[in-house]
Amino acid sequence: MAPVLGQTAARKVALLPGMRNSKYRVTAVDSGKRALEILGSEPNVSMIITDYWMPEMTGYDLLKKESSKLKQIPVVIMSSENVPTRCLEEGAEDFLLKPVRPSDISRITTRMLLH
């Protein structure tokens, strides 16, 4: 399962077709808080894809959470702001500059196979 997090439904929807065409179950949520709730109840999370800017908690703040489970799950941050260094230094697996392209989705789903 790969939760896809986004600031707006439109941004989530842009990622979902590429992810859902993979063999993974995708769960879309609209906030970092909701993602943490899912992480607490779902044992098989393979990857988290999050927007840098979200309501209640930014993707960057989500990375900084001290959850041991969260630290073991690859997190990909996407943003229209070119801030990859900050995210990667905090522990993000990858950074996607928006607009996200189909090749970006292919690259990260391939990476999921390797974990």
Burial (Cβ within 10 Å: 0-12, 13-18, ≥19) of residue 83: middle
**Distance separating alpha carbons of residues 24 and 34, to the nearest angstrom:** 20
Domains of the chain: total = 1
Range of the domain at 30: 2-114
Amino acid 20: pLDDT: 57
Mean pLDDT of the residues in the chain:
75
pLDDT of residue 62: 83
The CATH number of the domain holding residue 35 is: 3.40.50.2300
Confidence (pLDDT) at 21: 59
The pTM of this model reads 0.77
Residue 1, pLDDT score: 44
For residue 40, pLDDT beyond 60: yes
CA separation (Å) from 65 to 14, 58, 77, 90, 109? 27, 11, 14, 10, 24
Please give the pLDDT value at position 57. 81
Omega cis (within 30) before 99: yes
Q: What pLDDT is recorded for position 13?
A: 47
